[in-house]
Structure 1
Amino acid sequence: MLKNYLKIAWRHILKSKFHSGINILGLSIGIGFTMLIGAYVWSELQVNKQLRNADRQYIIQSNWKDPNMGFNLTTVGPLAKALREQYPHLVANYYRWDGVTSNVSKGDKVFREGLQIGDSTLLNMYGFQLVYGDVRTALSEPFNLVITEEKAIKYFGRTDVVGETLTIESFSGSKHDFKITGVMKKPVDNSVLHLTPENDNQFYIPSVSIDYFGRTMDAWNDPYRVGYVELQPNVKPEDLQKPMQDILKVKSPPQFAENMRPYLAPLKNYYIEQNNGLVKNMLYTVSFIAFFILLMAIVNFVNISIGKSATRIKEIGVRKVMGSSHSQLIIQFLVESILLVALATVFGFGIYTVAGPYLSDVLGKQIPTLGSFPLPFLFMPLALIVLIGIVAGIYPAFVLAKLKASESVKGKLQSVSAN
């Protein structure tokens, strides 16, 4: 029976090619662009969510009585390590890093690159995957180096480069070969490797090599280091407030202990909450735009469908004379409407697939492919098809189908209101 309904619906679509095409095109554009905006919002909300134990990961930030003494974004270098060593029942792990820029070369290839010098806990603590190399040992020795696939191709033209070396210049002008011990699969956006938009380090060096660059992460009078901690299960960030203040009073100079108030910011929501929720407010705005675009597309689709249905009164009468029941006509109109929406949704997927890479280039970040969305997302288009199809088809289905056969054959539209 459903097959017959679909056949009749398809014939009607082909019979009214222009009308059907306009209706499908308008709705498909609305669906396609809504999906693009929705995918962007979804990808922004996923930042930091895929880190290992994301619910227990925090970044140490600082409030200063005198804002000229330091940044909100950073803390004193040794604090994260001291918390782990002195309060292991509260802190499960820590990571600190210092960002520098230096000349990196391989043969005649020389580029200025951003380097992230950090603790050896980087890979295991956050679950970053290596395409080549061992995550347990890749950052364990001096002058080891982990790079991304992108940088491996840039310098070597391939990604299997474990065992190769790159020459990195220190601030004093000396040069040293760093052995590549790991090639990292480029991770999704996160606030560990990409803390700020300007921070795009793709070279990761263990902290045991920091002396080569004339830097340190163990100075209690240096408040310009980035520090993270992973809390033990069931530990709240407030539980670390007093321990942090106690450590500062003992270890740091008095001017820091008196002026600095460190606190833990949850890493899971850090990206969208930073800068007074700038990203979150922007996501609300673009989400409203997406909703408005889809709403206008639906209203346009429904209006055109209702307008077209008024021209089918004689057809309804003929079908009633031929023996079609009221319920059969209702089902037929709903099937036709749902089929139109389904076709528009398919074309909307096509628009998303074609326009996605261009939007990625404009935004400078990867827009998810259709296959990368979680399984529950696949049910949303189905729900959309049924919902819009019913809304658009409900007028001809339940109003026009009620017309008497004799009046329908004569095309008496005014009789609709009387029924």
Structure 2
Amino acid sequence: MIRNYLKIAWRNLLRNKGFSLINIAGLAIGMASAILILLWIQNEISYDQFHTKKDRLYVMYNRSVFDGKLWCWQSTPKIMGPTMKMSYSQVEETSRINQATFLFTVGEKHLTVRGAFTDPGFLTMFSFPLINGDSKTALKNTQTVVITEKLSKKLFGNDNAMGKTVKIDSNAYFTVTGVMKDQPNNTRFQDFEYFMPWSYMKKIGWDENNWGNNSVQTYVLLKPGVTETAANKAFLNITRTHSDIKDIDQFVHPISKWRLYSKFENGKITGGRIEIVRLFSVIAIFILLIACINFMNLSTARSEKRAREVGIRKVVGAQKGSLVGQFLGESIIISLISGIIALVVVQLSLKGFNALTDKELFIPYSSLFFWLISLGFVLFTGIVAGSYPAFYLSSYRPVKVLKGTFKAAHALVTPRKVLVILQFTFAIALIICTIIIQRQINHAQQRDLGYNKNNLAYVFMTGEVEKHYTAIKNEMLASNAVTAVTKTSAPMTEGWSDSWDYSWKGKNTTEKLDFDIYNTDGDFVKTMGLKLVTGRDIDLKAFPSDSTAMILNEAAVKTMGFKNAIGQIVKGQGRDWHVVGVIKDFILSSPYEPVKQMVIQGPSGWFNVIHFKLNDNASTENNLKKIEAVFKKYNPDYPFEYNFIDEAYSKKFRDEQRIGTLAALFAGLTIVISCLGLFALAAYMAENRIKEIGVRKVLGASVSGLAVLLSKDFLKLVLISFAIASPIAWWAMHKWLQDYTYRVSISWWIFAITGIISMAIAVATVSFQALRAARANPVKNLRTE
């Protein structure tokens, strides 16, 4: 019997090649889209979930009131980790992470590599297996280093790196004591290519015991049986107990929430990336559902062709159950073929999808679990797609079927019309959301930065740069490649430091206010193209006292309540700073949020970066060649690696751009699949009204009139879909936009344009079937009974 069913199914596929192709293509597109999204979702929810001790791993958070709100942040003092390990019985192990980028040199190979300082316990807390070396002892000694397999190949080729020496920076030599298997792409540590012992930070003077300096991440492995609640109770007053700071709490955040639940509002978790995961989960479900709906519509559109087959089978004794089984079997076969095609499509598109999402997704062909899930996925899709056609076709009564009497195809409400409305509702909602997301990105990109980012570049102060900074600056200016140079504590697009340790005359001593901190040696306003409101730039040559000069932005002046800021004294960082200038607010971090109060401190601060403004009158290529020659002269062991501010700034929009691009991509695929469904319904309607069309033509109806008659029903469906989709999309986007203080409004014209586009797509889709039916020979249609 099963063999017979398979033969019938195969013959039906071949007999109706056009519809079979559309069926398979629609399901394959839907399944491929869903698979891609599910691979992305699986990657997101699996972040750092492979560690064997994950149930006991936590990261430390601070919590305190600023500007009247309860803020949470995961940067902690360097001293917190050792203190917890020594003084708290709930702790089994701690490790700290302090990111660092160094030049690695082996022979003639020079590589700038990103990694981190950490404690010896890191390798035993987290499951990053070593190919060579012992996890327990690899970071015990001061000048040892653990490198990844990828970095080992870069430095030593296929040779065994264990025990070999690497020069780090210009004068430190480290021994390789471990080669780590490359981290998977679903861990927060994936960008680190080496780990160095924390004890080396002590040796070079980078470690300190200041409880007020929050600059590293502290990870904690709790002892078995210690719950999150118990840990939070024990750790609440760590800072209060060990320092003079009395207004900061601590709590632990479990590894299961690091990736997806990292957004805090007023001290409580309110979400994070989980919102994006949920969004794309819904998209995956609806795309697959739309593909299944498409299958249903196509199958029922061909129902008349198989109605007599069902009638004859019932007359000779076939039961409804066997007919349902046959039709479900056919849909499962189509689903299986579609699934195979979908896997091929996914494999071919993975490279582009990975580039779009900035991930390294792959299909785990060697995993038995993957194949079981895939089989279940195909069966589920086949059953869902074939359920309605199976029960619909098997429900025909033989007497009515063989006499040729059927349900009216033009009934006011039919399941097929409802399904098409559902399809287009989702497609239209996605189009509206895509437009609003893109408008929000454009809105932020067009926001006034407050400085001139054109031809503004920076380099990090590595090797001998700091020692020869004055000479480098003078020669860069003399070369005429640049018009201004300044050194700063951070790149212009990033805030690396902040503090609430500032006071001034008239400040409310009970109020804690946090300020972004920037340091400069002078010419800051000139180099960055900032706009002075009052006062002047910091200039140590003209004003020797500017070593403790300070510039405020407008937000800081407003916060401090200065009517005339020039000459005011601001205490902080162990110094008395005198205000020499006020600048217009400029965007430092998020272009979607208001500018925070900021202090720009004179040369008494610390420095990490050199900014320079390229000469507009010469080519960028020639300017960079001249600048590179200067750096090679004074810092020959290091490659000249520069960054442009405009490129760095554009990276701030990457997450939103990815969401927008993915939404647009899947909206397009949804439209394609939905159009196939509309095409199916048009075919069904035309097929079931063929005699009505013949009669109308005999009575004088024109082709255009008949085309409009057949098309207007579908336009009604699209209008209903638009009416349902619009409020849903408005609600979803209104909620999404609440995450941005600086946001776009949802304009009425977005819905108008989407409605016009939807109607145009619908007309283009059904016009083929409508015109085909209207042009058919009425004599042939009316003769056949």
Q: Structure 2: where are the runs of 5+ without partners?
A: 265-270, 411-785
Name whichever of 206-215 and 120-129 sits farther off. Answer: 206-215
Structure 1 residue 304: deviation in Å? 0.4
Judge conservation of contact 1:47–1:188 (CA < 8 Å) in 2: no
**In structure 1, what is the equivalent of residue 207 of structure 2?**
216
Q: Which residue of 1 aligns with 2:254?
A: 266
Structure 1 residue matching 2:373: 3-state secondary structure: helix
Superposition TM-score, scaled by structure 1 size:
0.85
Deviation per CA, 1:219-251: give whole Å up to 9, x if none. Answer: 444321210111122212333345435543343
Local SS of the residue matching 2:166: strand
Q: 1:242 to 1:14 in 2, by over 3 A?
A: closer
Name the larger-Rg structure. 2
1:8–1:190: structure 2 CA closer, same or farther, 3 Å change rule? closer
Q: CA deviation at 1:162?
A: 2.1
2:318 equivalent in structure 1? 325
| 1:388 pairs with one of 385, 388, 394 | 385
Secondary structure in structure 1 of the residue aligned to 2:114: strand
Measure how far apart 1:64 and its partner are.
Answer: 3.1
Aligned partner letter, 2:239: L
Are 1:315 and 1:409, in contact at CA under 8 Å, matched by a contact in 2?
no
CA spacing shift, 1:3–1:310, aligned 2, 3 Å: same
Q: Secondary structure at the match of 1:9?
A: helix
Alignment of 1:72-91 (within 5 A): 72-88=73-89, 90-91=90-91
- 1:22 Cα deviation from its structure 2 partner: 0.8
Tell me the amino acid that sits aligned with residue 386 of structure 2.
Answer: G
**Structure-2-length-normalised TM-score:** 0.47
CA–CA separation in structure 1 for the residues paired with 2:72 and 2:111: 29
Aligned-residue CA RMSD (Å): 2.8
Change (3 A) 1:164 1:389: farther
| Overall identity of the aligned pairs, in % | 27
Note the C-alpha offset of 1:361: 2.4
Q: Which residue of 2 aligns with 1:197?
A: none
| C-alpha separation in 2, matches of 1:355 and 1:190 | 20
1:57 aligns with 2:65: no
* Alpha-carbon distance in structure 1 between the residues aligned to 2:390 and 2:72: 59
Distance 2:406 2:276 in 1: 48
Please tell me whether residue 185 in structure 1 is matched to residue 181 in structure 2: yes
Alignment partners' CA distance in 2, 1:415 and 1:288:
35
After superposition, where does 1:118-197 map in structure 2 within 5 Å? Answer: 118-158=118-158, 160-169=160-169, 174-189=170-185, 193=189
Q: Indicate the larger mover: 174-183 or 94-103.
A: 174-183
Q: Find 2:301's aligned residue among 296, 300, 307.
A: 307
Distance in 2 between residues matched to 1:72 and 1:159, nearest whole Å: 43
Contact in 1 for aligned 2:185/2:360 (Cα 8 Å): no
Which of 261, 264, 275 is equivalent to 2:263? 275
* 1:81/1:94 contact within 8 Å kept: yes
- Partners of 2:207 and 2:134 in 1: how far apart? 26
Residue 124 of structure 2 aligns to which amino acid in structure 1? N
Q: What code does the residue aligned with 1:187 have?
A: Q
Within 2, Cα distance between the matches of 1:318 and 1:240? 73
Going from structure 1 to structure 2, the CA distance change for 1:236 and 1:189 (only over 3 Å counts) comes to farther
2:284 corresponds to which letter in structure 1?
A: A
Q: CA deviation at 1:192?
A: 5.4
Between the two structures, name the one with larger relative contact order (CA 8 Å, sep ≥ 6). Answer: 1
Amino acid across the alignment from 1:390: S
- The amino acid of 2:355's aligned partner reads D
Structure having the larger proportion of residues in helix? 1
Picking from 268, 287, 295, the partner of 1:293 is 287
Quickly say closer, same or farther: Cα 1:87–1:30, change in 2 above 3 A: same
How far does residue 144 in structure 1 lie from its aligned partner after superposition? 1.5
* Structure 1 pair 123–249 and aligned structure 2 pair: CA distance change class (3 A): same
Query: Cα distance 1:248–1:33, how it changes in 2: closer, same or farther (>3 A)?
Result: same
SS in 1 for 2:263: helix
Q: Distance in 1 between matches of 2:407 and 2:140?
A: 84
Conserved in 1, the CA contact under 8 Å of 2:327 and 2:386? no
- Structure-1 separation of matches of 2:186 and 2:351: 21
Q: Deviations over 1:356-415 (max 9, x none)?
A: 23212221212241435846634343333333232332211x223x323xx645644459
Amino acid aligned to 1:291: I
Q: Is the Cα contact below 8 Å between 2:335 and 2:379 reproduced in 1?
A: no
Distance in 2 separating the partners of 1:251 and 1:22: 70
Partners of 2:198 and 2:117 in 1: how far apart? Answer: 6
- Give the alignment of 1:403-418 within 5 angstroms: 403-404=398-399, 408-409=401-402, 411-413=404-406
Post-superposition offset of 1:215: 1.3
Counterpart secondary structure, 1:101: strand
Deviation at 1:287, TM superposition (A): 1.5
Which runs of 5 or more structure 1 residues have no equivalent in the other structure?
Answer: 195-199
Q: Provide closer, same or farther for how the CA distance between residues 303 and 416 of structure 1 changes in structure 2, counting only shifts above 3 A.
A: closer
Q: 1:354 to 1:60 in 2, by over 3 A?
A: same
